[in-house]
Amino acid sequence: MAKGRVGVNEERCKSCGLCVAACPMKVLRISDKINSKGYRPVEQFKEGCIACKMCAITCPDVVLEVFLLEDDKACNA
Amino acid sequence: MKETKIFEKPKSMVDVTTHYCPGCTHGVAHRLVAEIIDELGIQEKTVAVAPVGCAVFLYNYINVDAYEAAHGRAPAVASACKRLLPDSIVFSYQGDGDLASIGMAEIVHAANRGEHITVVFLNNAIYGMTGGQMAPTTLVGQKATTCPLGRDPKLAGYPIRMCEMLSTLQAPAYIARVSVAKPKYTLKAKEALRKAFQTQIDGKGFSFVEILSTCPTNWGLRPVDATNWLEEHMMPEFPLGEFKTPA
């Protein structure tokens, strides 16, 4: 399965939790941090992202960026 | 490890925080429209017509030329713009209070004339900006500030199904109802928006996409519960699908 990573634009997050519900691997959660608008931004708290983009597709505030991680060796092969 | 970015903010979307409430799916619809504008490469010739309602600041979020129409009159403004600038791609973006209530005449006649415009219609079954009053699309039994015991059809009639109504007309080329409540629906919504804009680019006529949307604040639900409520209550009343496709 593909490996991925989620990037969070913490200042844009409104803590709605739609991405947390959408993630099939349950690697997202609402963090303990507070952004300048007083919301608690989402965070990826563990490995296991499969780069499916469901979180980013459901996010109403374009908070998330998704990265696909590939082994350098696999690319060269 | 090599990192490849596979999802980012569309280029025609302005990098600002929107004024929408947490969990409001207006933002998803905005992003889908911006993605389609990027993918079709039409940013320079697109003209947006913003409504009155929550989406009134559309022009602050999507980086295209824009009008702000009087309440409900977006299809009339868009018709004029398209007729005067036939090479432009014109779309209006309206809520249910704007389009299905005060703007009912404009949308029906623009559709009936087969204007070469695209209308994006956000249906969240309530008036959002004004504070949660009953809309023409409010479900029977749904509570709102002006029907605190739930919509009573004996007093207020039944929810208006815009797609079904407009698809009785001969002129419209593309009519579809989609949703952005969950990712699986959002992916289909994007395809419907692509077809709607492509219909206009191909000169085939009027295109209309109704997007079932959540309003967690005025529904009085948490954002995730609102998406479930939409699935359970709105989808049976407003079935998803394509009602008309260009020949």
* Domains annotated on chain B, with CATH: 26-244 (3.40.50.970)
- B170 — contact with chain A (CB < 8 Å)? no
**ipTM exceeding cut-off 0.90 for this assembly:** yes
H or E element, residue A22: helix A18-22
User: How much is the mean pLDDT over chain A?
Assistant: 93
Say what percent of chain A tops pLDDT 90: 90
Mean pLDDT, chain B cut into blocks of 10 residues (247 residues total):
93 96 97 98 97 96 97 98 98 96 97 98 96 96 96 97 97 98 97 98 97 97 97 97 94
Stretch A40-44: mean pLDDT, rounded? Answer: 97
In chain A, the largest separation of any two C-alpha atoms, in whole Å, equals 47
Residue of chain B minimizing CA distance to A66: B7
| CB nearest to A67's CB, from B6, B13, B20 | B6
Residues in CB range of A74: below 8 A, 6 or more apart: none
Banded pLDDT at A77 (limits 50, 70, 90): very low
Tell whether the model's pLDDT for residue A55 goes beyond 50.
yes
Residue of B111 and A72 predicted with greater confidence: B111
Residue of chain A minimizing CA distance to B224: A18
Alpha helices in B102-234 (DSSP H): 104-113, 153-156, 162-166, 183-201, 216-219, 223-229
| CB nearest to B223's CB, from A17, A64, A72 | A17
The dotted CATH code for A3-76 is 3.30.70.20
- A54 — contact with chain B (CB < 8 Å)? yes
> Around Cβ A61, how many Cβ atoms within 10 Å?
24
Inter-chain residue contact A62 with B9, CB threshold 8 Å: yes
State the amino acid at position B56 in one-letter form: V
Q: Judging by beta carbons within 10 Å of its beta carbon (0-12, 13-18, 19+), is residue B119 exposed, middle or buried?
A: buried
Residues in CB range of A64: below 8 A, 6 or more apart: A6, A7, A8, A9, A19, A42, A55, A56, B7
- A17 — contact with chain B (CB < 8 Å)? yes
pLDDT in tens, A2-19: 999 999 999 999 999 999
Contacts of B183 in chain A (CB under 8 A): 22, 54, 57-58
* Segments making up each domain of chain A, as ranges: 3-76
- A77 — contact with chain B (CB < 8 Å)? no
Banded pLDDT at A75 (limits 50, 70, 90): low
- B5 — contact with chain A (CB < 8 Å)? yes
Banded pLDDT at A74 (limits 50, 70, 90): low
Could you please report the per-residue DSSP string of B54-81? GGGGHHHHB-SEEEEPSTT-HHHHHHHH
Distance between CA atoms of residues B225 and B216, nearest Å = 8
